[in-house]
Structures are given as structure tokens and as C-alpha cells.
Amino acid sequence: MKIIGYIIQKEFKQIFRNKGMLPIIFAVPLIQLIILSNAATFEIKNIKFSYIDSDNTSFSRALVDKFDASKYFNLVARFPSTKEANSAMLNGDVDVILEIPKYFEKTLLKHKKTDLGVTIDAINGSAAGVENVYITEIVQNFNKNARVELMQPSDVINMPKNITTITSFWYNETLNYKTYMVPGILVLLVTLITLFLSGMNIVREKEIGTLEQINVTPIKKYQFIIGKLFPFWMIGLVLLTIGLIIAKLIFNIPIVGSLGLMYFYTSVYLLVILGIGLFISNFTDTQQQAMFIAWFFMVVFLLMSGLFTPVESMPTWAQYITEFNPIKYFVQVMRMVMLKGASFSDIFPQFIKTLGYAVIMNGLAVWSYKKIN
């Protein structure tokens, strides 16, 4: 036990002495948490709206005004013809073109029916879908009002059947994306820092030559590994703490669930990440190699964690792969506990998998750390 203490002491000294690294470990991730959480939103607003009004009547202008008044659309241009409009869309200057045909109002009065052209830049498919919903809504409302005004006694009144929906958004009534992203990005930063620090640590001593010096001492494998990992485990928990304070104070994210449960789960989760880092460290000869491997896993873990895009939407085979992704469990648990107040029994499946993962990874790490070759 005392021997482990000496290693821990030494690691802490080395970490805190490295003035260049300290801000990278502590400050930069938290600044990122603040900045990136603001950026990570799927909300569609400020849609660049443009139109071609070939009718040019008060009726057509009223329709354009409706778009202008909507909080989702920013009116950026009126084009004289399709040619200019298309060119602007190619340039990326506009997202939506509304094309009001000539005799728009007349046709509606005469034939009781008229068409309207809408062009949407659909490269971002999901945004295009949402934009389409907004456009349809505005046009339908406009249509409803117009109908009331234009309705003649001769037009048969026939009330359609109507199903009303009332949507309530639980756990996040205002659909605040920060509530969703902050716990996730926090998870990510904690993982990123601890994985890379632990992944590079032992291989660094290997490269410098101090590892050999350690290997000729009678120190036991487990003593060395625990001593090495403990400081990073602590750093992970400190990062979590600062991150939670930021979440609460700056983003005002509700922390519904138990803090104790969050820390308990995180402390087990960190063992998984440290085990992976150590395992990578043991299998590589240079920091460069260790870093590439850590980086590869990190990007895969990150983009397949359900942090940015839902796991449920992935193809089945990809969902199987995510079963091996520790970040996925951490993201789920943090969101469940923080936002919904889930209890230990709710997160039990994730916990058990994480625990199993921790045991396996650290087992592999200890096994693959060779004092002798």
C-alpha cells in the first residue's frame, strides 16, 4: 500500500509540474464544454428564405409577410426570376425559394384551387424535412384564413373531421438542446482526457527508459498499475465535478437525480477507460502509435455513442457494435440520472455492462503489462 502511495505521489508531481499540460487537461476541456454546448443544436431556425413573386398582388404579398413574420424564417432576398434564385441556392445564399406563380390569386378565385412552388435545399435531409413542415404549416394557416374570407354561400359547407394533437415534451419542456448536449459533451471530455493521458503514460516511460528502471525493482504489477492509474482516475472525477458545476451555474441544467449515483457510476466507468488506455500503452512501443490507436477508438466511440445522433436510428449491425461502446453507456446514464432522476435499478443494465467491461479491460491490462520479455 505504501509503495502505491509513492507512485501516486510521483505521478501527481509530474502532472502538476508540467505547466504546459495543466491548462490542456483542465481549462481547455471546460472552455469547450461552454462553447460547444452552445453550438450543438439540431434546432432549425434562421432559415434563409427567398421568394419570386410573379403575381405581385396584395394577396401574394400577404403570404410572403406570413413567412417574414415567422420566427423560423429570415427573409433574405426577392428574386425577379428563377434563374437568379437558383444561382443563389447553388451559392448557398438561400435555403428555401417560394415561387408564387402569375395569376396566383385569380386562379384561386376562379378554380378554387391553385399551386405554389417551393424549392428546398435538401443536402441536410433532416433539416429539409423540418423546413418542409414549417412551410406547410404557414401555407395551411394562410389557406385557412383565406378560405374563411373567400367562402361564398354557394360553396357547400362541409366540416371535415379533425384530430387534434397536444404534444407535451417531458423532462425538457422548452426543447432546450443544451439540457441534452451538456451532459453528453461533459462525458466526452472526461473520457477524452483520461483515455489519452493514461494511454500515453506508460508508453512514455517506455520511450524515455524509466520503465526499465521500474522493472528491475521488486514492485508488483498491480502496485505499479494502481499507482499509475489512480491519479488519472482522480483527474477524471475532478473534471466531472467542475463540469457539473458549470452545467448547473452556467447552463442551469436541472440535476434531478442523485449526485452520489452519478459519481458512483463515473468512478466505475473511468476504470474502463483507464484500462483501455493502459492496454493500448502496453501494446505499443511509441507514444505516436499509442496515440493513433487511442484516437481511432475515440472517434469511433464518440460518433457511435448516441451523443450526436440516436443509436436507435442506426442499422441493426451498427447497434450491435455500439454494445461495445463504453461511452454509449456513460452518455445514457448521465442523461437518465441528471435529467430524469433515474435510480440505481433503472441504470442497472448499463452499470453491470460497464462493470464487466472494467473487469475485462483491467484484467487484460494487467495481463499484458510485462515486467519481463
> How far is the C-alpha of 327 from the C-alpha of 331, rounded, in Å?
6
Element (H, E) at 205: helix 177-208
Q: Which residues 99-118 are close enough to bind another protein by CB under 8 A?
A: 108, 112-118
C-beta closer to another protein: residue 83 or 112: 112
Q: What is the number of other CB atoms lying within 10 angstroms of the CB of residue 140?
A: 10
Q: Which of residues 138-167 bind another protein (CB under 8 A)?
A: 139, 142-143, 146-147, 150-151, 155-156, 158-167
Question: Which of 56, 81, 213, 252 touches another protein by CB under 8 A?
Answer: 213
Binding mask 3-22 for another protein (x = CB under 8 A): x-xxx-xx--xx--xx-xx-
Q: Looking at 26, 230, 264, 295, which residue binds another protein (CB under 8 A)? A: 295
Calpha distance 257→148 (Å, rounded): 51
> Shortest Cβ distance from residue 338 to another protein (Å)?
9
> Would you say 215 or 267 has its CB closer to another protein?
215
The whole-angstrom separation of Cα 361 and Cα 275 is 5
Q: Using CA atoms, how far apart are residues 184 and 334, in angstroms rounded to an integer?
A: 7
Q: Which residue of 68, 212, 260, 360 would you call a contact of another protein, by CB under 8 A?
A: 212
Q: Does 252 bind another protein (CB under 8 A)?
A: no
Burial tier of 367 (Cβ tally within 10 Å: 0-12, 13-18, 19+): exposed
Single out the segment in contact with another protein by CB under 8 A; choices: 46-54, 240-248, 259-267, 354-362: 46-54
Size of the site for another protein (CB under 8 A): 147
Q: What is the CA radius of gyration of the chain?
A: 29
304-323: contacts with another protein (CB under 8 A):
304, 308-310, 312-315, 318, 321
Residue 208, interface with another protein (CB under 8 A)?
Answer: yes
Within residues 329-348, the interface with another protein by CB under 8 A covers: 332, 335-336, 339-343, 346
* Stretch 231-250 residues interacting with another protein (CB under 8 A): none
The residue from 69, 122, 245, 352 that contacts another protein (CB under 8 A) is 122
Q: Shortest gap between Cβ of 119 and another protein (angstroms)?
A: 5
Residue 119: partners with Cβ closer than 8 Å, 6 or more residues away: 85, 89, 96, 97, 99
Identity (one letter) of the amino acid at 351? F
- Residue 71 found at the interface with another protein (CB under 8 A): no
Q: Widest CA span of the chain, in angstroms?
A: 101
Nearer to another protein (CB atom), residue 213 or residue 359: 213
Integer CA distances (angstroms), 355 to 166, 270, 275, in order = 41, 10, 12
Contact between 191 and 237 (Cβ < 8 Å): no
